[in-house]
Copies of this chain bind each other. A is one copy, B any other.
Amino acid sequence: MTTARRDTYTPETLLSVAVRVFNERGYDGTSMEHLSKAAGISKSSIYHHVAGKEELLRRAVTRALDGLFGILDEEHARVGPAAERLQYVVRRMVEVLIAELPYVTLLLRVRGNTVTERWALERRREFDHRVAELLKAAAADGDVRGDVEVRLATRLVFGMINSIVEWYRPDGRGMSEREVADAVAQLVFGGLRKEG
């Protein structure tokens, strides 16, 4: 056990430390001892804030899921032709993924060993389904290609977007959220082939 270094610890700062450790060691491989050491506060101080590591996981993935589902409530995701709404959602997914990088990274690594993990997987599937529905509607409108099966296309597009967590580093030297979002939108909708 480590002695408390600061008594100004908030649930918010504890959460960000926990997410970092979960992403480094894996959720299963993280003990309360690891969290206590990383946060520099005692285990009993952590228990003052949360019931245990599963609550930290739930809060973290909730933050990622709220960010993603929030996109679907935005006006441009609700109003207009399906193809335009889809394009908007794809761009915003990239932006949210980068803005909430450690939280979305954790969400994407969830495996399903605990109730919280299974709930997170279920919510992810629900989000995927909502986007697949948008793609289906756009195909029905004749605005996107109909020759690639909707579920497969959705999986591949999510694969491209989600892969960003593997290499994007918010170090200020790299690309901005907007540049990555532009590139993803261009590739997802136009492909590599030169236009015109």
Contact = CB atoms under 8 A, between A and B. Distances in A.
Nearest to A194: B145
Interface string A11-25: 000000000000000
B163 A184 contact: no
Given A160-B159, A187-B157, A193 B149 contact: no
Contacts of A86: 192
Interface residues of A, number: 42
Given A156-B160, A159-B159, A145 B175 contact: no
Contacts of A152: 175, 179-180, 183
A75 interface: no
Chain B CB within 10 A, most for which of A145, A175, A180, A193:
A193
Contact of A163 (B26, B144, B160): B160
A162 B166 CA distance: 11
A164 B159 CA distance: 8
Interface string A27-68: 001000000000000000000000000000000000000000
Contacts of A180: 152
A167 to B, nearest CB: 6
A183 B145 contact: no
Interface string A171-196: 00001000110011011111111110
Contacts of A115: none
Nearest to A187: B156
A192 B159 contact: no
A135 B183 CA distance: 15
B186 A148 contact: yes
Interface of A: 26, 29, 86, 135, 138, 142-149, 152-153, 155-164, 166-167, 175, 179-180, 183-184, 186-195
